[in-house]
């Protein structure tokens, strides 16, 4: 974007920083992480053959095996707001959902913070199935001028879920290594034809299919949907369809206005990987962008962990990598009073905090000399 005219991050004068303490700025490019899906291989009992299973029995994992596994950290798309997984974005017709989708997609594709929330840069695919390319061109140029990006892709036609949409998306994933976000606008355009379209089972199955795809590829699906006309004291009860949609999703955003013609809206957020929030927004009709005016719910921040703080003092830009056993690491951490096995388990559990809060990538591998720990400083990249 050129100049300040098209900036979508609000000025400090509206009080965003005072109202809303944000997580530590994390704005690294996805290219720093090597692969799109995982930041490291999962060293879990599932992969190492320790899973207890039988032909007709349950697949189980013990608590010991669970603690000894290392799962890849869940990297936010927009820190504190949206993560990998499948989310619903719900609002009444003409409330401004498509403008928000374009705004979010543009920010993610360029790695620009949204309302002060750090954004993880990556490729974005926007299935604008209720638009045409001429309308998209006009809308985007009003929002962002002529400043564009080759990281933001659009399609106005696609197959539905039972006629080949998954194959189309798989091909796009193969061709775009750093895909982070797929927006489907709207759910109705990709619903399967036939069957009981409005049963709980059908709604649950639709979102489950999308969630399976997003989990397998380590991306985020944001699915635009409509509210029902019937009012409810709980905003999330206003999602059109059955509770199966929300039940299968990782979270939901509900955008509401008191009157369709006004500029003010409330965005309510609920999900498995983020705190419930209520954001007050204002639509800037000149720039056609949504601006944050107030965050009613302050984000809770986990207290600092003394052990992780101690590790951060020895893994720095000056000493960016260390490799050894848990016992050898404890020698460098005299203030940490714990057993080597407990240290390893604590690191297994803290892999996400280490990366997001301390910029340290953790890997655990088993070799001839036993289990080895690798800690690597992962510098941020600035736009």
pTM of the model: 0.77
Which of 295, 311, 297 minimizes the C-alpha distance to 357? 311
- Domain boundaries 302-377, CATH class: mainly alpha
> Which residues, 6+ apart, have CB-to-CB distance to 155 below 8 Å?
125, 126, 127, 128, 129
pLDDT of residue 40: 37
pLDDT of residue 260: 74
pLDDT of residue 1: 43
Point out the residues of the chain with pLDDT beneath 50: 1-50, 53, 382-383
Domain regions of the chain by residue span? 12-26+75-295, 302-377
Write out the two tokens for 259. 């009157």
Using DSSP, state whether 32 is helix, strand or coil: helix
Between CA 301 and CA 192 the distance in angstroms is: 41
Question: Could you give the dihedral angle defined by the CA atoms of residues 203, 205, 211 and 217, in that order, rounded to the nearest 10 degrees?
Answer: -140
Could you tell me where the DSSP H helices lie in 94-228?
97-110, 133-144, 165-175, 200-217
pLDDT of residue 163: 86
Integer CA distances (angstroms), 30 to 1, 70, 151, 346, in order: 21, 20, 12, 26
* CB contact at 8 A, 338 and 290: no
Integer CA distances (angstroms), 267 to 90, 123, 272, in order: 10, 25, 17
pLDDT of residue 21: 36
The CATH number assigned to the domain with range 12-26+75-295 reads 3.40.50.300
The DSSP symbol for 241 reads: S
């Amino acid at each position: 974007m050129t100049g300040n005219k098209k900036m979508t991050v609000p000025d400090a004068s509206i009080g965003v920083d005072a109202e809303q303490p944000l997580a530590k700025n994390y704005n690294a490019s996805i290219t720093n992480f090597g692969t799109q899906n995982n930041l490291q291989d999962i060293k879990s009992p599932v992969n190492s053959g320790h899973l207890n299973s039988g032909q007709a029995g349950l697949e189980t994992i013990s608590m010991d095996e669970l603690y000894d596994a290392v799962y890849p950290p869940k990297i936010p798309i927009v820190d504190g707001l949206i993560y990998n997984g499948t989310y619903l974005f719900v609002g009444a017709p003409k409330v401004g959902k498509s403008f928000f989708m374009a705004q979010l997609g543009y920010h993610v594709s360029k790695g620009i913070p949204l309302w002060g929330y750090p954004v993880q840069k990556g490729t974005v695919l926007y299935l604008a199935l209720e638009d045409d390319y001429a309308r998209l061109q006009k809308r985007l140029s009003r929002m962002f001028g002529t400043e564009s990006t080759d990281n933001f892709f659009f399609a106005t036609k696609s197959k539905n879920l039972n006629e080949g949409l998954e194959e189309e998306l798989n091909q796009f994933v193969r061709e775009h290594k750093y895909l982070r976000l797929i927006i489907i606008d709207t759910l109705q355009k990709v619903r399967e034809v036939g069957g009981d379209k409005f049963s709980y089972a059908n709604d649950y199955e639709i979102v489950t299919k999308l969630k399976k795809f997003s989990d397998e590829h380590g991306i985020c699906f944001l699915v635009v949907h409509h509210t029902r006309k019937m009012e409810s004291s709980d905003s999330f009860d206003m999602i059109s369809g059955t509770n199966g949609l929300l039940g299968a999703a990782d979270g939901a955003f509900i955008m509401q206005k008191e009157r369709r013609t006004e500029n003010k809206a409330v965005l309510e957020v609920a999900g498995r990987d983020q705190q419930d929030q209520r954001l007050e927004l204002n639509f800037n009709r000149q720039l056609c962008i949504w601006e944050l005016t107030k965050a009613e719910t302050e984000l809770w921040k986990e207290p600092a962990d003394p052990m992780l703080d101690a590790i951060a003092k020895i893994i720095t830009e000056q000493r960016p990598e260390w490799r050894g056993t848990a016992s050898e690491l404890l020698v460098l951490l005299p203030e940490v009073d714990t057993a080597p096995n407990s240290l390893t388990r604590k690191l297994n559990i803290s892999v996400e905090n280490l990366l997001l809060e301390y910029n340290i990538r953790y890997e655990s591998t088993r070799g001839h000399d036993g289990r080895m720990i690798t800690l690597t400083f992962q510098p941020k990249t600035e736009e």
